[in-house]
Structure 1
Amino acid sequence: MATTEHAPLSLDKPLPGFIPGDLAWHLGMILRGHQTHFAQAVEEMPCSVRGYQMLSTVVHHDPANQQALGAHLGIDRTVLTYLIDDLVEAGLVERVPAPTDRRARKIVATQQGTELLSRLETRVAAAEQTLLAGLEATESAQLAGLVSKLSMAIHRAQPGANPCEAMDHLG
């Protein structure tokens, strides 16, 4: 089976098919569309998108403690405390002693939280399909794979970067 070699991008030339700066406009439009659909899909969630992301992270990534949760999401610990308080008050998560350090707190989802997350995941999936309606199924899968690969490379290079802050500054 033959392998395909990919030529590296030239750092002094524009991206193929783009005027320099167009990539930012395209990404901004995609993010704006996603933000709109996502917010509508999770509108019943306390703290909206951030609350959903927090609950999803607790359920799917099982961070060891509150600090690890904040680090994963790139949320300042002061803000994180308020978000967790809102989710605790709504009965969606609870603070329990972390098994590795009883001075630390682990955030765990309640049954009500996992049930809400399951319902919202169905809505979020539908919202993402609506966003990608202009693409064929293979294009959607390819885009999802490429976006995931690129975002993880950026996350590794800038581990403290806050994606929520980037969304806030779309303007």
Structure 2
Amino acid sequence: MTNLGTPTSPAASGSSVSDACRRVDLGQSLGILLRRWHDAVDLALAGIPHGPRGFQVLGAVVHDEPPTQAALAESLGIDRTVMTYLLDDLVAEGLVERREAEHDRRARRVVATASGRAALRRFEDAVRVAEESVLCGLDDDERELLQRLVRRSAHASSSPA
């Protein structure tokens, strides 16, 4: 009778390391990749205030219609008070600015500066290199497939049922 509750090492079971890798569960594999990704991306984003979160905000500001601060906080799932401090630091670095909204003088639009757009391109390139190093065991087609599947799964799991 097989004991399903006791893991065995590849050497003890006579199987290869690749067989053991196939048996690692999804959570463990994702955890390993996420830790590696986080370490690599943290280094790549060392020059931006608040690291990955600042990069996420700058990307949203550059790639989307200039959002209000409140809309930006809501869309990224960042507490409004935290967003205020984050934007203050991005403004201080000259990466974004707050402008009066045309339709409502009380609202402020967050707009990337020319320096912010240039910085984002550099950071996007650095993140791309970091991600390639994390996924170095995959060829280009496999990387693209993994990224596409992870995006699709993330969007599906965040959609209301």
Structure 2 counterpart of 1:114, from 114, 117, 135: 117
1:120-160 deviation per Cα after TM superposition (whole angstroms, max 9, x unaligned): 111111111111110121111110110110111122239xx
Superposition deviation, residue 96 in structure 1:
0.7
User: What whole-Å deviation, never above 9, does each CA across 1:6-60 have from its counterpart, x for those lacking one?
Assistant: xxxxxxxxxxx657xx222111111111101111111011111111111011001
* Equivalent residue, structure 1, for 2:5: none
1:116, CA displacement in angstroms?
0.8
Rg bigger for which structure? 2
- Sequence identity (%): 44
Task: Kindly state the Cα deviation for residue 102 of structure 1 after the two structures are TM-superposed.
Answer: 2.4
1:76 aligned residue:
79
Aligned-residue CA RMSD in angstroms?
Answer: 1.7
1:98 aligns with 2:95: no
Cα distance in 2 for partners of 1:157, 1:28 equals 25
In structure 2, stretches of 5+ residues that fail to align are 1-21
Relative to total residues, which structure has the larger helix share, 1 or 2? 2
1:41 aligns with 2:38: no
Amino acid at match of 1:152: H
| 1:50 aligned residue (38, 47, 53) | 53
The two structures have a TM-score, normalised by structure 2, of 0.81
Residue of structure 2 equivalent to 1:151: 154
Q: Are the aligned partners of 2:58 and 2:116 in contact in 1 as well (CA < 8 Å)?
A: yes
Structure 1 alignment gaps of length 5 or more: 1-16, 159-171
Mapped contact 1:52–1:117 kept (Cα < 8 A): yes
TM-score, scaled to structure 1: 0.76
- Inter-partner Cα distance in structure 1 for 2:114 and 2:132: 27
Q: Which residue of 1 aligns with 2:16?
A: none
Alpha-carbon distance between aligned partners in 2 of 1:115 and 1:42, rounded to the nearest angstrom: 14
Change (3 A) 1:54 1:23: same
Q: Secondary structure at the match of 2:119?
A: helix
1:61 alignment partner in structure 2: 64
